[in-house]
């Protein structure tokens, strides 16, 4: 493995995906040491702590930039009644989270989904994603669900979204200056 130092500009590809009908799978049961908790009127720091815990290794930085540049817009997003954070709590600590966004009529965007590094590989990801997808489709009037991922994310993200029924609809090439050292 090669180390790419922080401060290096790297190319990456964003893939936008859609699911146009509710999937057939059943809602899975989470292991007994995991519970799902819905955040009611969460403070921005709560969202940012989950965002950092899950996304630090994948260069999730956009919301930190927004917190500095336009904190009111970030607060409006996080606290919007049609945007909901669900946290998977394992033995008292957050193992992962998902955020669904129903602000656009007929659409549920899976705005964020992921696990903290200590929970990756323990069998939670697939079940939590299935729950996130079914949660998105529970709202009346949803006609499609959207999500995006990029090549900086976990390498299993895109294949897992596709296994769950999302189909790529667009790709976009971008660059980013790394905030943290990264293995290539």
Region 77-95: mean pLDDT is 97
Q: How far is CA 10 from the centre of its chain?
A: 21
Average pLDDT along the chain: 96
Given phi > 0 = left and psi -120 to 50 = alpha, else beta, which region is 24? alpha
Region 26-31: mean pLDDT is 94
- CB of 67 closer than 8 Å to CB of 76: no
Give me the helices (H) in the chain, please. Answer: 44-55, 62-69, 71-78, 124-138, 157-163
Q: What is the pLDDT of residues 99-145, one digit of tens each?
A: 999 999 999 999 999 999 999 988 899 999 999 999 999 999 999 99
List 18's β-bridge partners, or say none: 146, 167
- CB of 165 closer than 8 Å to CB of 30: no
The rounded percent of the chain whose pLDDT value lies above 70 is 100
Residue 12, exposed/middle/buried by CB under 10 A (0-12, 13-18, 19+)?
A: middle
- CB of 179 closer than 8 Å to CB of 59: yes
Q: How far is CA 157 from the centre of its chain?
A: 10
Region 1-17: mean pLDDT is 95
- pLDDT recorded at residue 1: 77
Which of 130, 128, 171 has its CA nearest to residue 149? 171
CA–CA separation, 107 and 19 (whole Å): 10
Among 34-38, 44-48, 95-99, 121-125, the least confident range: 121-125
User: Which stretches does DSSP call E strand in 42-136?
Assistant: 83-90, 93-101, 107-115
Which of 182, 104, 117, 107 has its CA nearest to residue 142? 107
End-to-end CA distance of the chain: 6
Q: What is the pLDDT of residues 148-167, one digit of tens each?
A: 999 999 999 999 999 999 99
- pLDDT recorded at residue 184: 82
DSSP 40: S
- pLDDT recorded at residue 32: 87
The domain defined by 3-183 folds into Aminopeptidase (3.40.630)
Is the model's pLDDT at 175 over the cut of 90?
yes
């Amino acid at each position: 493995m090669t180390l790419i130092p922080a401060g290096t500009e790297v190319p990456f590809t964003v893939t936008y995906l859609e699911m146009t009908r509710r999937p057939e799978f059943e809602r899975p049961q989470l292991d007994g040491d995991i519970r799902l908790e819905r955040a009611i009127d969460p403070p921005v720091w709560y969202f940012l702590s989950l965002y950092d815990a899950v996304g630090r290794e994948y260069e999730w930085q956009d919301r930190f930039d927004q917190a500095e540049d336009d904190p009111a817009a970030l607060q409006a997003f996080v606290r919007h009644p049609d945007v909901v954070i669900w946290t998977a709590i394992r033995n008292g600590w957050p193992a992962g989270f998902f955020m669904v966004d129903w602000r656009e009529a007929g659409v549920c965007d899976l705005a964020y989904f992921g696990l903290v590094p200590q929970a990756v590989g323990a069998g939670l990801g697939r079940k939590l994603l299935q729950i996130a997808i079914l949660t998105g489709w529970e709202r009346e009037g949803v006609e499609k669900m959207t999500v995006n991922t990029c090549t900086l994310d976990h390498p299993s993200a895109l294949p897992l979204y596709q296994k769950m029924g999302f189909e790529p609809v667009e790709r976009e090439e971008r660059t980013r200056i790394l905030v943290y050292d990264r293995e290539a």
